[in-house]
Amino acid sequence: MRVIKFGGTSVGTPDGLNHIKRIATLTQEPVVIVVSALSKITDTLIELADATANSRDTSKMIDAILTRHRKAITDSVPENNQQNCLDKILPIIENLKREVATYNTTSPTQERLSQLHQNIVCYGELLSSVIVHNIFDHNAFTTKHIDSREIIKTSKYFDRHIINFSQTNKLIQNNIPNQGITVMGGFISSDAETKQTTNLGRGGSDYTAAIVAAAIGASQLEIYTDVDGFLTADPRVVEKSTLIEKIDYCETMELCNFGAKVVYAPTILPAYLNNIPTYIRNTYNPNCNGTLIHNCDPCDTPTPQSITAVAPISLIEIKGRTTGLNYKIFRLLASKGIENYFARGDEHTTLIAVTEKNCQAAIAQLNTELQEHLTSQRIQNIVVHKNLATIAIIGNNIGSSNCVQAAIFDALKNVNINVNRKRISLGVNSISIVVPIECTRPAISTIHQALFESEKSCAKTPSANETFGCHIAIEVLRKMVAAGDVIRSVSAYFPEKTEQRAAILANHLGVEIDNTQPDNCLVEFEITDGVGRFRVIEDITTTPYDSNGTILIYSARYREYPLHINL
């Protein structure tokens, strides 16, 4: 059996739903499809829960949710399934209305507020899974829809809910048939004892898919999203980042722990423990094989795979005789769900990096837990350093490689970034460094160049022929719009066939070109405020363009710096 997970951008458009149908029916092998809510619906449901808790009017929000799902049914569900699909959707919406109407705002407790949020956000996956179930021809395929809360069970652990694997595995094995197509929502679950709705955290649909794959011994797990897979760096920061074709489970877990957003971090462990090959693929780019996560062959040579960053972070410095206390400190933070992105300790100081939004909670917990040691002066004080970032270089055995370390620190020194040695932590498969937040981008760029680009400098990407580069850009623009992004402007440099390629871009975006291309000089093409214009480039070395050609896309999502597409 195959387990396939589709994210909100895949589920949220007619094109995406057509891709789901195509991918799920490629082979005769039984398939379990796990889906997220339609894109942006979870955000709307969170707003709905907040409005309910604060006694604000929610009728327009619920109407908008119903309208969005009605449109998805009309656009994507075969006509002979539409009424059946709507008959399943409407009672779910009525339950949502009752959930909102019966909530008592007169005596809200933190526990009741939390339960309200968990109850309401689950509706996104309940609705989307019904729609996906009905995109298939039920006469041609054996299909089944499952409410995930019936088979994914959790138990309370401190302030969180974690998977109760003994119950969950049995329920999955007893309820998922070994034939046809089974569709279920990700993310949502229920308490093993109380039966109350719970969830697996934002991004938990990936985790749901991995849990199901492990329980049924799936031949492979496929996670479809809106990117091609893991890259050597964030392409918004490093324009020459490249796709990682294969990566080890442990390296992937390190990448996820250090903030890579391609897949939800807990997803990897069930796949790793059960040796299930896991593919990260792009729903909208079927010709790309994506990234395969598996048990790579052991390699003695330290091999960098990727660079990632977490920002902004705060570095908590605990000064004093911390020997013997570090286990207590890290266990405390873990029990409160406070993740750390850098850890280093010796007999005099312990350093912990947490996100700035979690810093206040972490300090409060540490002050309470270490009060006895602060009073006795065993712990002198707890100091917070703000406006920092953690940069992590991930790869097989690189923590023990003097060569890789030297390349990293030489590169940083070349751009005048001096790293305090106490702010460097070496793991088996990672090197993490804390730097001022303003140094994040130059640090990542220079490290990437040192580790990934120097050996490839003699293998430059050939100049794109004909209009291939434009077609890539147009596909990217389509995906961005489908995901709810808003395009602000596009600029491009084409070393060849400039007018032809500019016309293709302008035509796709529905704009007129205001002037003609100047002769005998370098030009850029810019689309902004609904108009396309050619502009003379005085010195290409002062521009962000690559000599082989570049397209830059500025949007609501990419406000700080553009999305680079090199030709």
Per-residue model confidence as pLDDT tens digits over 310-329: 999 999 999 988 877 888 88
Residue with tokens 């329980």: 215
Determine, yes or no, domain membership for 484: yes
**Virtual torsion, Cα 269, 444, 8, 567, nearest 10 deg:** -120
Determine, yes or no, domain membership for 143: yes
How many structural domains are present in the chain?
3
pLDDT for the residue numbered 301:
64
The CATH number of residue 418's host domain is 3.30.2130.10
pTM over 0.95: no
pLDDT band at 274 (very low <50, low <70, confident <90, very high): very high
Portion of the chain with pLDDT greater than 70, in percent: 94
Domain boundary among 456, 491, 519: 456
Distances (CA, A) of 284 to 22, 471, 478: 11, 13, 10
> Are both 88 and 164 inside the same structural domain?
yes
Q: In degrees, to the nearest 5, what angle opens at C-alpha 291 toward C-alphas 550 and 176?
A: 135
Pair 232, 241: CB distance under 8 Å: yes
Determine, yes or no, domain membership for 248: no
Portion of the chain with pLDDT greater than 90, in percent: 52
- Cβ–Cβ contacts within 10 Å for residue 287, how many? 6
- CA pair distance 90, 122, nearest whole angstrom: 15
Q: What is the pLDDT of residues 157-182, one digit of tens each?
A: 877 889 999 999 999 999 999 999 99
Determine, yes or no, domain membership for 122: yes
pLDDT band at 458 (very low <50, low <70, confident <90, very high): very low
pLDDT for the residue numbered 567:
66
Q: Is residue 200 over pLDDT 70?
A: yes
Handedness of CA 302, 306, 307, 310 (dihedral sign): negative
> Are both 478 and 375 inside the same structural domain?
no
pLDDT for the residue numbered 542:
80
The CATH number of residue 113's host domain is 3.40.1160.10
Strand ranges (DSSP E) for 295-419? 303-320, 342-345, 349-355, 379-396
Determine, yes or no, domain membership for 339: yes
> Are both 154 and 60 inside the same structural domain?
yes
Domain boundary among 422, 456, 490: 456
Query: Residue 67 sits in which domain range?
Result: 2-226
**Sheet with 278-282: strands ordered across:** 143-146, 181-185, 31-35, 2-6, 220-225, 278-282, 291-294, 246-248
* Least reliable range by pLDDT among 87-101, 289-303, 501-515: 289-303
Q: What is the pLDDT of residues 221-257, one digit of tens each?
A: 999 988 899 999 998 899 889 999 999 998 999 998 8
pLDDT for the residue numbered 457:
30
Is 430 strand, coil or helix? Answer: strand
pLDDT for the residue numbered 42:
92
What values do phi and psi take at 465, rounded to 5?
-100, 155
> Are both 89 and 148 inside the same structural domain?
yes
> Are both 333 and 397 inside the same structural domain?
yes
- CA pair distance 424, 432, nearest whole angstrom: 6
Determine, yes or no, domain membership for 371: yes
User: Which residues are 554's β-sheet partners?
Assistant: 489
* Least reliable range by pLDDT among 51-65, 177-191, 547-561: 547-561
